[in-house]
Structure 1
Amino acid sequence: MLTSNGYVLDEAPHRLGDLEPVPAAERSDRDALWQRLRREGYLYLTDHLDPDVVHAFRRYYFERLMDTGLVRRDSDPLEGLQGDGELDRGLLRERLFHEIVPSAQYQAFCALPQIKDWFAWLLEDEVHLHRRKIIRHTRPGEKGIGTATQAHYDLVYLRGGTDRVLSAWIPLGDTPVSRGGLTYLERSHHRVLAEEASGRLQAPAASITADLPGLAEEYDSRWLTADYRAGDIVVHSAHIVHAATDNVDEGDVMRLSTDIRYQRSSEPIDWRWQEHWHDRDGL
């Protein structure tokens, strides 16, 4: 049973489907990628990164948080097994926001040539990586409103710059559907673009809803999911609606992922996104 924030998703074929990976024949064809991105709203690039590099950063992340109680004692940090004792939330926040987020390791990962150079190739320009980069872990068993990322599209949080910013969601380790990866509302960007153009969606930054099954009915669309592997990356439009599902992994493995944003350096940049991410930064 697939859930998000406690809501049970409708698994009927007209409400739930699979993300379509970019075929090998299109991977080096810039025009084909743009056609796909405009049509589907996302590019699912399997095996885009070296899994060893992804795993090395995953190990670094959980290793730095071992003594917070987040990770199971005496386990391999790479596994990301959730701790079974008390969580020191103050220490966790200190390590996350003052050590990991601004770290050279995180910056280097997000600016890997396979990422930065790829965006420069796709955009045919010098590119800018937004300094506000988000990294999240989700523990198995967390559910209810606010535990998983609610349905939204990125532009509502990026009003101060170009609307042609592109996001990259990167699973930091294998993330099967049961572990709570990202899910996309199929071709929802077409409706969002139309409503943005009409001025009907000029609202303050906010999620749309936690009710994913209800939104699929409203849009008469499907939520698309995938069994992500370390090395996969999803590049998506700032207009496509997406959310996360709940982590129900039976092996106590935490989901870890990061989402980052690239754009052409020559286009307007939202200044609010040029500070390190903090969960109290108001965005």
Structure 2
Amino acid sequence: MATEVQPTPTPAHELTYEHGQLPKLRSNYGAHLDPTTVAWMRETPADTPLSEMRRRFEQEGYIFVKHLLPREDVLSVRSAYFTHLSPTGILAPGTSPVEGIFNPLADPVAHHGNGGTDLPSEQDKVERLISAHTHPTYLSFLEHPALRTFVQNFMSWSSDILIKRTLLRHNVPQGFSTGIHYDKIFLRAGEADFLTAWVPIGDCTAEGGGLMYLENSTDVGMAMEEAFASRAKDLSPEERINGFNVNMAKDGQLSHDAVELTSAIEAGVHGGEKRKRRWLVGDYEAGDAVFHNPYMIHGAVKNEDVEGRIRLSTDLRFYEEGSALDERWMRDVWRPGDGL
């Protein structure tokens, strides 16, 4: 008797959410995303050959590397961060710092950690956000050999430079999330291309405030940047490289409404090839990392984690040593009002 041929399963990154299967996802403002416009990111195991990783990165604009870092090393950073912030009342009573469960009685607005203008009003909380960037556990993590060796090998660099102004951000449930943007907006002064690593510090489900990427959006980001540069040609050199100049939104973001932005892109308002694009999301685990190019459009999902977990992550930008990097980002660690 002939063996029945089993159908090939659909790759995970091509599966869209079925209605009701998972909570709908949204950005800061606007409607929830239609489930048919959301799909899983392609997952790439850490032991995948570098040639295949590079092919995926070139084709898709990002690479979602699973289990790149030891889980326990990532969780130690999470524990240290929320121990550092615990005096602010951010954590639910009776929970541990490594869990990072938001205090249900606290006001989300009072515990912003996104940086820029999205800051708590209490100065003590702001100072703790600043000093977290120089916490010994975090600084040690930035030099993690698994991360730094991967970057050098993946990019074929003999040596890398991690810019000093890293971003260590938390996102509380129902708080204000990172808006939608591409990274070149904020690093325009350097001529060289850079590589961004977004590292979730702890587990983060699809609805837990992690990043979402607009599918195949590199061409749109490049078209937007070309248009911004054209409109800025009469500005001073300092203003042209400013991510908050008169041609930009006040916070440098493209939008805080994913549905509205997608509609505008599909209508050809922002340039780039007209086609349907989905928002790609992931179920992130401690130890994962996503790498993306300077023009890939992305932003955070609003944190609606059912367990009340606070999303913690770090944004890291790498250049090849000796390249023309954006020196503004080498002056100091993140500080509010530094213009970047």
Q: In structure 1, what is the equivalent of residue 333 of structure 2?
A: 276
Q: In structure 2, what is the equivalent of residue 140 of structure 1?
A: 173
Deviation, structure 1 residue 73:
3.2
Deviation, structure 1 residue 235:
0.4
Q: In structure 1, what is the equivalent of residue 90 of structure 2?
A: 70
SS, match of residue 44 in structure 2: coil
Higher relative contact order (Cα pairs below 8 Å, separated by 6+ residues): 1
TM score, norm. by length of structure 2: 0.76
Deviation, structure 1 residue 44:
0.3
Q: Any stretches of 5+ residues in structure 1 without a counterpart? A: none
Contact 2:218-2:296 within 8 A present in 1 as well = yes
Q: Are 1:227 and 2:283 counterparts?
A: yes
Deviation, structure 1 residue 103:
2.4
Q: Distance in 1 between matches of 2:168 and 2:30?
A: 24
Q: Are 1:16 and 2:38 counterparts?
A: yes
TM score, norm. by length of structure 1: 0.90
Offset from partner CA, 1:33-60 (integer Å, 9 cap, x none): 2221111000100111111011111000
Contact 1:66-1:72 within 8 A present in 2 as well = no
User: Percent identity, aligned pairs only?
Assistant: 30
Q: In structure 2, what is the equivalent of residue 200 of structure 1?
A: 227
Q: Distance in 1 between matches of 2:70 and 2:46?
A: 17
Of residues 257, 261, 269, the one that matches 1:215 is 261
Q: Distance in 2 between matches of 1:24 and 1:137?
A: 25
Of residues 299, 305, 329, the one that matches 1:249 is 305
Q: Are 1:91 and 2:112 counterparts?
A: no
Q: Are 1:4 and 2:27 counterparts?
A: yes
Q: In structure 2, what is the equivalent of residue 49 of structure 1?
A: 69
Q: Distance in 2 between matches of 1:37 and 1:28?
A: 13
RMSD between superposed Cα atoms in Å: 1.9
| Residues 1:168 and 1:24: Cα distance change in structure 2 (over 3 Å) | closer
Q: Distance in 1 between matches of 2:54 and 2:34?
A: 30
Deviation, structure 1 residue 189:
0.4
State which drifts further: 3-12 or 233-242.
Answer: 3-12
SS, match of residue 261 in structure 1: strand
Q: In structure 1, what is the equivalent of residue 4 of structure 2?
A: none
Q: In structure 1, what is the equivalent of residue 49 of structure 2?
A: 28
Deviation, structure 1 residue 138:
1.1
Q: Distance in 1 between matches of 2:43 and 2:136?
A: 31
| Residues 1:171 and 1:141: Cα distance change in structure 2 (over 3 Å) | same
SS, match of residue 261 in structure 2: helix
May I ask how many residue pairs the two structures share in their alignment?
273
Q: Distance in 2 between matches of 1:63 and 1:279?
A: 22
Q: Are 1:183 and 2:212 counterparts?
A: yes
Q: In structure 1, what is the equivalent of residue 12 of structure 2?
A: none
Contact 1:66-1:73 within 8 A present in 2 as well = no
Give the residue type in structure 1 aligned to 2:320. Answer: R
Give the residue type in structure 1 aligned to 2:44. Answer: V
Q: Distance in 1 between matches of 2:220 and 2:170?
A: 31
